[in-house]
A and B are shown apart, each in its own frame.
Chain A
Amino acid sequence: MSEILLQIDGKAVKAKQGMTVLDAARSADIAIPTLCHHEQLEPYGGCRLCTVEIETRGRKRLVAGCLYPVEPDLIVRTRTEKIDSIRKMILELLLAHAPDSPQLQDLAREYRADRDRFEKEASFCVLCGLCIRYCAEIKKKYAVGFINNGARREINFIPEIAAGECWNCKECFPLCPTSYLQAAYHLTEALAFPSLSSRSASKRLVTTTTL
């Protein structure tokens, strides 16, 4: 593996080909906040908290640190006014869902994010996908997945699979940045009310309204 030399926050960092900016930064003890990232899982790029500024051939760009591959002579800045304002807004958007998450609260203090900037949302899931990806990539059980798209996206346990697999596992619970709550809630709902859970996955409800 060839060695790549880059610069992060003014510090010369040696990295290996195939590493991401996040990998390189962490290897040099430079902190970049993440929420949806997990070292055992494929990079996801969903939360965008790891957004950093890169400079190549004089051109500056914002990229997701967890996905951007290192390249020779890359200049990376992990804290600028712009980056901080992006992270602050992302945290505020997430805190509307999970105001009590310790992980989010810690980051909120660092980036001066206002916990109550936005009205609280009905769902406390931040859709980081950690439970889903862990279940699929590590456990290969596929007991939980995403359903729907856009603003209606949510996580959904498959009752038929969850009933057999989840009770003895629950390894995804501690991964949840909203502190156990989301996965536990959805799992309980799926198992207690399997018909309800499968119905919530369909967008066209049959109503009982009469003409």
Chain B
Amino acid sequence: MPRINSAAELETLRKDILSRRDPGKPAIAICAGTGCLGLGNDKVISAFQEEIKKRSLEAQIEIRATGCHGFCEKGPNVILYPEEICYLQVTPEDVPEIVSETLLGKKVIDRLIYTDPMTGEKAAHQSEIPFYRNQMRNLISNNTRIDPSSIEDYLAGGGYSALSKALFEMGPKQVLEEIKKANLRGRGGGGFPAGLKWETARNAPGEEKYVIVNAHEGEPGAFMDRALFTGNPHCVLEGLIIGAHAIGSHQGFIYTRHDTPQLKANIDTALAKTREYGFLGKNILGSGFDFDVEVHFDVGIFVSGESSALMRSIEGKNPEPRPKYIRTSVSGIWDKPSNLNNVETWANVPQIISKGAAWYTGIGTERSKGTKLLSLSGNICHTGVVEVPFGTTLREIVYGIGGGIPNGKKLKAVHFGGPMGGSVPESLLDTPLDFDAMSKLGAPIGAGGMLVLDEDTNMVELTRFYLDFLTNESCGKCVPCREGIRQMLKILTKMCEGKGKEGDIELLEEIAEVAGAASLCSLGKTASDPLKGTLRYFREEYEASIKGK
């Protein structure tokens, strides 16, 4: 494929791709996400390949190993195009029947479609299954239509048209304005307006500037960025290139973990393709804009995801955070302005540019716009990757999408943000998903790990668990974090053993206060947030672990 040298050439290519495609051609989209991997989807994929080969149908039926479909609970997931029939919990034994009955015979196999556990009603399409029906899947729905290794699949769906628009119709300033107008807020945890961050980096003095995709996702219980980036890598890359152009950066970095081999492979393939087609490199699409991306893999420890630690790691240094007295958007990697956003934030950019800020701000709440990806897990019937518009209540997510709590148990709390987050009790379940509303409750959305806890959960133990995690995953440089967590963990461990004593709660609060105020980086500053949150809503459990002595 020769390089594309103009906006017109891109559209010609797109037409050419579409003309070679028959929308009525049967295709099998098999989820190859991490969740389905644990359920043996590789065997399902090879069973389909063998069956299609055995029947010499290679030319007539396409097989796509795709990114995560979302409904991990019922994996391995398979969708059959063009009818978009959704089969759940597919085993290799089902495969010959699926090929003969559904793909060739056009009949739906009853036992493989969704059955509502309450009503017994059947649903053959994603649009009818409550788990999918109650979501707004603007970002993640493309996963089933795309083979992550195929740039043509992405282009067929309109890919890189936003980049073309940004380069030739809008220009950096207008792109920046559009992102600011859309009020795109960072999805990595802070909820900081991306447009303002971009502007700071753009206006910072210096010729060399960097843009970075944070795909570290070290927060336990968060897996949506992996699902999105692995399944649709070009969407993130397109957002990054648009951002680089707006900021005036010619060098990007992707920062991720070594223990996600599928993600690494898909990023590498996608980067090779984008260079080949001229979406990366010198003179992108003939616009005169130069930009390229380097992938940086880390060995995975929670603190490496902290932005200044991450930048030190890219420099090849120890991933120890440094104090943010000068913002990284002004002085980051090698002291150059460096704009860091996470996977989901970058992925939002192309649709904002394509459809406009007005469209985007129509979704969500007053101050939280667009949709949010969530990793739904814990004590919930339907685990998986979920995308909802901001403003959806937690109750709708837990019951309308998640199908409620298994084993007839009652809901106790919903925990957001992992080891630096907080829990919302059942009584506040009608709270809308919103950056500010959730922060006010002491449970900031964080990256989007949403852990559902049933009535059997011991909140003191959960807090102890998080601190134990942090003591292993922090760097250990500063005293309030290292020693504070050490002492809090000791007290909580004793409490969990029923050996708590009078004054323990007050001591915990005192240490938490100091660690929160005086630690070097955000890990230490927020390490005690689960403690503060559970003390706020579940203090009686702490008291019981003292009185229970």
Contacts and interface: CB of A to CB of B under 8 A. Distances in A.
Do A and B have CB atoms closer than 8 angstroms in the complex?
yes
B504 to A, nearest CB: 12
B325 A89 contact: no
Given A94-B483, A150-B482, A45 B514 contact: no
A153 interface: yes
A148 B486 CA distance: 15
A48 B478 contact: yes
Interface centre among B472, B478, B485, B511 (most CB of A within 10 A): B478
Contacts of B518: 48, 51, 62, 86, 90
A47 B478 contact: yes
B301 interface: yes
Residue among B474, B485, B487, B513 with the highest chain A CB neighbour number at 10 A: B487
Contacts of B486: 121, 151
Nearest to B325: A68
B487 A93 contact: yes
A139 B513 CA distance: 39
B473 interface: yes
Decide if the interface of chain B is mainly helix, strand, loop or mixed.
helix
Contacts of A194: none
Interface residues of A, number: 33
Given A48-B480, A90-B479, A118 B487 contact: yes
A90 B483 CA distance: 8
Nearest to B483: A93
Contact of A93 (B475, B477, B484): B484
Residue picked from B301, B472, B517, B518, most chain A C-beta under 10 Å: B518
* Chain B interface extent, by class: 20 to 34
Contact of A48 (B470, B474, B479): B479
B514 A47 contact: no
Contacts of A136: none
Contacts of A86: 480, 514, 517-518
Interface string A159-170: 000000000000
Contacts of B237: none
Contacts of B471: 150-151
A153 B320 CA distance: 13
Interface of A: 45-49, 51, 62-64, 67-69, 82, 85-86, 89-90, 93-94, 96-97, 118-119, 121, 126-127, 146, 148-153
Interface of B: 301, 303, 322-323, 325, 470-480, 482-487, 489-490, 510-511, 513-514, 517-520
Given A82-B517, A97-B483, 9 more contacts: A45-B520, A47-B478, A68-B325, A90-B483, A90-B514, A94-B483, A150-B471, A153-B475, A153-B476
24 contacts: A49-B479, A63-B323, A67-B323, A68-B323, A86-B518, A89-B480, A89-B511, A90-B518, A93-B480, A93-B511, A94-B483, A119-B490, A126-B479, A127-B476, A149-B474, A150-B472, A150-B482, A150-B485, A151-B471, A151-B476, A151-B486, A151-B489, A152-B476, A153-B475
